[in-house]
Structure 1
């Protein structure tokens, strides 16, 4: 693949009838994708029973002025590891650009900045991530697993989690109700 074919900065949507029920109606921000594999953070499903202040308390941080937002189920890999997807108006030493969509930070610095009211203007937190080995995601995409949408910032930051799957399809000009949950072979 060429660098233009990699999916970093795009939104990966589970196709209807996806082979893995754990990812039904899944919406993932693709943070890293290269010849070594891929890492995406789920933004379409809320992690039940955990809110932002709970995470800060667990880490021994004062929530300060931070809003007590819901936390996303980022994926099945390392479900205790936190990630902040955020606007590019804040950056720390470990911040990764997820161009053109957002940035990704996973340090205590971003949590402290949000608690102090000095963090990014737009953000959400997820626990866990989805990971693919070299060539794995490409194989899944060939077998009716995923659709790679453009990175729609309004879906990420201005759409409630339960509406992100449908909103991303609509932003792509596709009515998800018209999608088949089966594939064929030509």
Structure 2
């Protein structure tokens, strides 16, 4: 798995992955871990542009003091201060229309040009060869990403929804209870 570009793909935690930072997560950055902290309390000028739920999301356990913003333009063209996620040359496309938002750009210009906007604190990171080894051992499913995944209004159910839409065995995995001993 080393050397494979995972840009534009989701890493969906397998049920056996017990690390509390990644248990039942969906990772482009971690897109299904909303906090209770409103975006407006951290980035006052951007708070009014945040998609529902308008809170900071835990993007991962690395660099939690740093922010990453993703957005989808709401109109024609690419607004200044927005850069589309790039698809790898030999891989699946990045989620259609999703891009990185420059939080140093003026929100009164860029913010109004965005149809959807979300801010993540931190990111997911792995040491050299670590992610490839985890994928090989079955800790992660590598699946196509959709823009709706990044901006889900119900992030708590995203893990199961992404698995269900794959069909087959993964749809069955989506039905496993959070605590297998309750089954």
Q: Which residue number corresponds to residue 67 of structure 2?
A: 82
Query: Per residue, is there more strand in 1 or in 2?
Result: 1
- 89-98 vs 123-132, which deviates more? 89-98
- How high is the TM-score relative to the length of structure 2? 0.74
Q: Which residue number corresponds to residue 129 of structure 1?
A: 123
Aligned residues: 162
The RMSD of aligned alpha carbons is 3.0
Kept in 2: contact 1:84–1:104 (CA 8 A): yes
Q: Structure 2: which 5+ residue stretches go unaligned?
A: 88-93
Q: Which residue number corresponds to residue 35 of structure 1?
A: none
Q: Distance in 1 between matches of 2:176 and 2:43?
A: 42
Question: How far is 1:63 from its partner?
Answer: 4.8
Q: CA offsets, 1:79-120, max 9 Å, x none?
A: 1111112225545457352442121235321xx336874232
Q: CA offsets, 1:27-54, max 9 Å, x none?
A: 111xxxxxxxxxxx11111123x11101
| Aligned CA distance change for structure 1 residues 94 and 119 (closer, same or farther; 3 Å) | closer
Q: Distance in 1 between matches of 2:21 and 2:81?
A: 33
Q: Distance in 2 between matches of 1:64 and 1:10?
A: 28
Q: Structure 1: which 5+ residue stretches go unaligned?
A: 30-40, 182-186
